[in-house]
Chains A and B, each alone.
Chain A
Amino acid sequence: MLGEGILKGMTQTARNFLGSYHDPKRMTTVEFPEDKIPAMENARNFPFLVFDGTDPVQGLRCVACQICEKECPPKCIFIEKDTTKKPDYIGKLQFQPKTFDIDVSVCMSCQICVEVCPFDAIKMDTRFELSTDDRFGQLLLKKRDLAKPNEYYHQVHPTEATEVDERLAAEKAKADAKAKAAAAAPKPAAAPAKTPAEKV
């Protein structure tokens, strides 16, 4: 019958309307500033830099390889290499960033920097209440503002952080074992000099 579907729809919306007054389960709204729901684990808003230990400069995992800077689609990352090196989690000497800036107003939260980072040094934050009364200040976040401890990473993305920690620990154990084996074994003979014939 013509118009039957409309009547069915109208009863459904009427049921929604009346139900919203007596059935709190229907309402999905959370009235934000007063009520908050905990941030979801795979939420993402803005990147931060992970550091191990207590010192945000010494413990920084970033090795200033600049892959994220090159991959960033809106080009919001700016990195300058430092001339001095520092040991990374394995103990190998690596470069470190002298400056590491991210422009909040340009970042589009795409997470590509996180995907490309081979050192698990940059991760996405879930904090979203970033509004201030200062319109132009604090838009360019510096290295010290971005650096957050590994414990914080565990707090916002527990599953992912545990997985990263396990992988890094395994790599370290492997590297340690290799170093131990290398120390125990006799020094290998120097490689034979290449013959002139081979050069051609």
Chain B
Amino acid sequence: MDTLIHIFSGIVTLLWRVVTDQPDQKAELLQALPQAISPLVNVILSISPILMIFPGLFALTTWLERKGLGRIQNRLGPNRTGPFGLFQPVADGLKMLTKEDIIPRNADQVIHFLAPITLVIPTFLGFAVLPMGRHLVPLNMDAGLLFFFAMGASTELSIFMAGWGSRNKYSLVGAMRAISQMISYEIPLIISSVTVVMLTGSLSLVNIVAHQSGWLGGIIPRWNVLTPWGFAGFVLFLIASLAEANRSPFDIPEAESELIAGHLTEYSGFKYALFFLAEYLGLFAMAGLSTTLFLGGWNAPFEFLDFVPSYIWFFSKLVGLVLLFIWIRGTVPRLRVDQLLNFAWKFMLPMALINLVVAAIWHYTSVWVFPASLILRWLFCAALILIPYFALGKFISNAGHFAPRTYRYAE
């Protein structure tokens, strides 16, 4: 009885310390437990917040997305279930759960069953290395970034499993599109994040965030996005992560107007919900990683705002990026496959490589110590990025030799 009270009070203290942004006393708490169960409790304590917060955020985001897209199209969005339609995700979830789970007779039963599971697990694993607050790091890996990308890359296999196992032409075409798209965009995604690794000198995401803490004169944060290479890298990373997460305008694997639902065509009920969950979790993971790499992670934007708990900053940046993704989805139409691949190989990849060089120049010019050296460095590196940007833009827009369409009869 005594030990139970001890453990209970320990957990309450743990929660209080996490909420107030203090280092927790998990190690002491685990010591009080019997040897046999302490590793299990350790893992559960680390995993359960991820398993609770991100699916909760997923539910909130589906509501936000439907409301936001509605408003963008001058509609109301869901407003019947609960106040402002806030219980819409609950209604959707109940609908998904109570639906019949249909497996096509000719489908590869094992692969069809495994695909949603092997998709969700790596997506959750990706969150393990994200530092969500000053002391909120589930796992501080030395090669955290590498681990994250490895987990992200393994989702491609699951999508192909779904497409192949369904034995449906739409599923297969969708899955093949997904593979070509994800492999193409993985390269600029990784190269644009390599710049951060170069400048930080570490693959650990905790070190990357620590490297961005502090303010110039208490006002300007030392975030990577406020450097020329960081800004270019951030934009490239955002575009590539949209493609990785199969979000509009790169949602051609699903392309409801062409492919029914791509690799999701033959999925129904809860398996479909799992795919949906994995898609949004992938989106959060990408938003969280770009926050960590370029937007200073859990760091406050101004010194006088440093008293706000660090996890609030992390999650507000993450939700801000998700809102940006929703805004983009409400604006940009879907690309064609050839446009998508041309954009990846003819624009994203060269820009990412140029950005790599610019990051190196930024690093080596940090020894300059004359007046206004920072401004000069800034302008020099910005020019090195902007000139190829305009040149490539000109090249891309002239590449197809498309003349304006002429109408013979309908003028």
Same assembly: yes
- On A, residues with C-beta under 8 Å from B are 1-3, 6, 9-10, 12-14, 16-17, 19-21, 26-29, 31
Q: Is B328 an interface residue (CB 8 A)?
A: yes
Question: B74–A6 contact, CB under 8 A?
Answer: no
Contacts of B347 in A (CB 8 A): 2
Give chain A's interface secondary structure class: helix
Give chain B's interface secondary structure class: helix
Question: A10–B327 contact, CB under 8 A?
Answer: yes
Please name 9 further chain A to chain B contacts, defined as beta carbons within 8 Å, in addition to the given A2-B390, A14-B327, A17-B327, sorted by A numbering.
Answer: A1-B393, A2-B393, A6-B331, A6-B332, A13-B72, A13-B327, A17-B72, A20-B74, A28-B75
Contacts of B328 in A (CB 8 A): 10
**Docked pose: A10 CA to B68 CA in angstroms:** 13
Q: Which of B74, B332, B397 has the most CB of A within 10 A?
A: B74
Q: Which of A10, A13, A27 has the most CB of B within 10 A?
A: A13
Q: A16's contact among B72, B332, B397, by CB below 8 Å, is which?
A: B72
Chain B residue at smallest Cβ distance from A2: B393
Tell me, rounded to whole Å, the shortest Cβ–Cβ distance linking B226 to chain A.
Answer: 20
The digit string for B295-338, where 1 denotes a CB below 8 A from any CB of A, is 00000000000000000000000000000000110111000000
Question: A9–B331 contact, CB under 8 A?
Answer: yes
Nearest 10 Cβ contacts at the A-B interface: A2-B393, A13-B331, A9-B331, A26-B74, A20-B71, A13-B72, A17-B71, A17-B72, A20-B74, A29-B76
Whether A21 contacts B71 in the complex (CB less than 8 A), given A2-B397, A9-B332, A31-B76, comes out as: yes
Contacts of A17 in B (CB 8 A): 68, 71-72, 327, 330
**Docked pose: A1 CA to B332 CA in angstroms:** 17
**Docked pose: A15 CA to B72 CA in angstroms:** 8
Contacts of B392 in A (CB 8 A): 2
Q: B393's contact among A3, A16, A21, by CB below 8 Å, is which?
A: A3
Contacts of B20 in A (CB 8 A): none
Question: A16–B73 contact, CB under 8 A?
Answer: yes
Chain B residue at smallest Cβ distance from A25: B74
Whether A16 contacts B74 in the complex (CB less than 8 A), given A2-B392, A2-B393, A2-B397, comes out as: yes
The digit string for B347-368, where 1 denotes a CB below 8 A from any CB of A, is 1000000000000000000000
**Docked pose: A12 CA to B390 CA in angstroms:** 24
Question: B75–A27 contact, CB under 8 A?
Answer: yes
Chain B residue at smallest Cβ distance from A4: B393
Tell me, rounded to whole Å, the shortest Cβ–Cβ distance linking B284 to chain A.
Answer: 22
Q: Is B87 an interface residue (CB 8 A)?
A: no
Q: Is B54 an interface residue (CB 8 A)?
A: no
Question: A2–B74 contact, CB under 8 A?
Answer: no
The digit string for B368-399, where 1 denotes a CB below 8 A from any CB of A, is 00000000000000000000011011001100
